[in-house]
Structure 1
Amino acid sequence: MTWEFWLTSIVVTATPGTGALFTVAAGIARGARAGVVAAVGCTLGIVPHMVLALSGAAALMATSPVAFGIVKWLGVAYLLYLGWGTWRQSSVLSMPDDAHEGHAPPTVLRTIGSAVLVNLLNPKLTVFFFVFLPMFVASDEPGAFLHMAVLGAVFMAITLAIFAVYGLGAAWLRGYVLGKPVVMRWLNRGFAASFVALAVVLAFTHQ
């Protein structure tokens, strides 16, 4: 396991994207526990992409416009759904305020499910695993499958650690904005707009 793998994994994971945005939004909206739960969910959302890469099915995603397009448009639809729900204060990322005090906070399973879908419906992750993992494993080396599985697990551990830091950092920031309805409202709208913007970017993404 080379330093290049660690550096690449950290850079890719730390770069802001849909998973990072979801985790930060959860931490600000509901606190440290929700931020960590979101980090766990986003990490679990990587598992299907890793399985596809290990099975060779990721090659189909990388070369098939139809398969890529189906996952892409499902991802676009879900990001728009998250943006709409966040704007209307009806998603797992809804921020508590005086107008919504009677609403029960989202369950752990609902938060994890939403986080999993954020990464599951990101076709760029499948293509990334198809291109990324083979760079560090020679296909003809003994135990290549196991080696790729270990690298994938390490990538997931790095993702969990970095996203947990994002979630906890957001929860810390929450302490400064909680009780300020105007600030919370604009943060909520900012997250909603960000999800819509990411949906637009994904819509124009090509293989």
Structure 2
Amino acid sequence: MQLAFVLVEPKVPENVGAAARALKTMGFGQLWIVNSQVHREPAAGWVAHGSDDILAAVRAYDSLEAVRADADLLIGTSAKARHGKRELYTPKALQVLLGNKGDTVAQAALVFGREDRGLSNEELASCDLVTGIPLAVSYPSLNLGQAVMLYAYALSGLRLDAAAETAAVGQWTALRDRLQVLLPSLDVAPDSKLYQWALERLPLLADKDVRFLHTLCQNIEKKMR
């Protein structure tokens, strides 16, 4: 699995530089930026200090939807529960979840919102999981560079396989697509609580659980035919 850190519409170049430096010191290399060019400004390079290669390799996107197309697992960050997801996972819990994915996920993406207002409810709803950092007080909140540093530190123990794309990956995405077809055929409507609950719990599964559910789905599909 590979893990990308995604910044949505950052406005302060120093924050992007700080994020690049955080990734470099914690052993990560993928920085994706949505709808912003501030990483090209000199101030970003000044703060990056030794992690210019991270800035130079930034992958730019026009929208979060475009990021979704390149990521098997999309994880949104939020300071509070203001979205439709039932669970808000801590960085420590997220590290355990990602560590259990094995080779079922090729590319995961951790998404950070704008400095002034974070991610919108619609953007969070498009994510498979939502994570947040427990704070002793609500305000002042962490700035973007600090948040990236804390997550990079918390997730630094993950085993990232550079050759993951050549392995038997993508089983989690395939299972999600499979259930989106299978559940309605079992009279579980997409707007039902059961359908939504099933897809919301799906990202929590470990690799062996994903393989088991593929087998179960296959047996159900054969029985239906």
TM-score with structure 2 setting the length: 0.30
TM-score, L = length of structure 1: 0.32
Q: Larger RCO: Structure 1 or Structure 2 (Cα < 8 Å, ≥ 6 residues apart)?
A: 1
